[in-house]
Amino acid sequence: LPFVASALSLVCAAMGCADITLYVWVDDQFVKANKKWITFYYFIELTARLPPLVYLQYFFQSIACTDPPCFPAAWLVIFGADVAVIVLLLLSSSPALWNRGCRHLWKQLCNRVLQCVFLAIPLFIFNLVMFDPGMAFVRVNKYYTFIRLAELIAIFVSIYATAERIDDQSSQWAPFRTPLVVEMAVTASVASVQALFVWWVIPRRRMATLRDLL
């Protein structure tokens, strides 16, 4: 029952992400013609993203840490690093910002940084701008999948390394060793499918849509 409930919640979340992309963020022919593919992509992305974060929360909150600040520290490191990298990518995609006069440069830069931070927060969970063809998101979409794969590896390595240090047959960690390995294998498989979508399926679908329009 928990597995079914989790799967249904991921499906609902994926449909919500697709609706946000279609009706709020992007309005082009490719998104309208491929809503099912977009929904399936977001289902794959959320499946590869949310379970490791939940496992990270449970592990550091319930098993590894007896000191309460330990769990927030683990999350803050991942969240802060992710937001910082996304903000830098968004800023690097705005070359016109650096061509303004010195008088208004800092004001424009501060406004742009705030905009990027607000946008980077939802991007921590899913790639809201994945199907946006705008030049402002070219570098984010180019490196987003690499960033997620690197974070995924870092999450599992940190959990496993910490668990090995506290390992004890009588500890709470022992029953979760096998589930962690299974979770790693499943998440790696789903992440591989996500990468296939990003680098092969979606570009081919976009090219097919452009040919139909022409």
pLDDT of residue 205: 86
Q: What pTM did the predictor assign?
A: 0.84
Helix (H) or strand (E) holding 171: none
Per-residue pLDDT of the chain (214 residues; tens, 9 = 90+): 566 777 788 888 888 888 888 888 787 788 888 888 888 999 999 989 988 888 877 777 766 565 555 556 677 888 899 999 999 998 887 665 555 555 666 777 788 889 899 999 999 999 988 888 877 888 899 999 999 999 888 888 887 777 766 655 445 666 667 777 787 888 889 889 999 999 998 888 888 887 877 6
Q: Any idea which residue has 């679908």 for tokens?
A: 205
Q: Is 112 exposed, middle or buried (0-12, 13-18, 19+ CB in 10 A)?
A: middle
Q: Which amino acid is at 49?
A: R
| Structure tokens given for 25 | 């963020």
The span from the CA of 151 to the CA of 157, in Å, is 10
For residue 43, the SS3 value is helix
In one letter, which amino acid is 185? A
Cα 31 to chain centroid, rounded: 20
CA distances 17 to 86, 127, 155, 180, 196, Å, are 19, 9, 24, 28, 19
Distance CA 197, CA 41 (A): 7
- 26 in helix, strand or coil? coil
- The closest of 165, 170, 113, 120 to 147, measured between CA atoms, is 120
pLDDT at res. 55:
80
Residue 146, pLDDT score: 92
Token pair 């790693």: residue: 184
Helices (runs of H) and strands (runs of E) counted in the chain = 8, 0
Tokens of 133: 């063809």
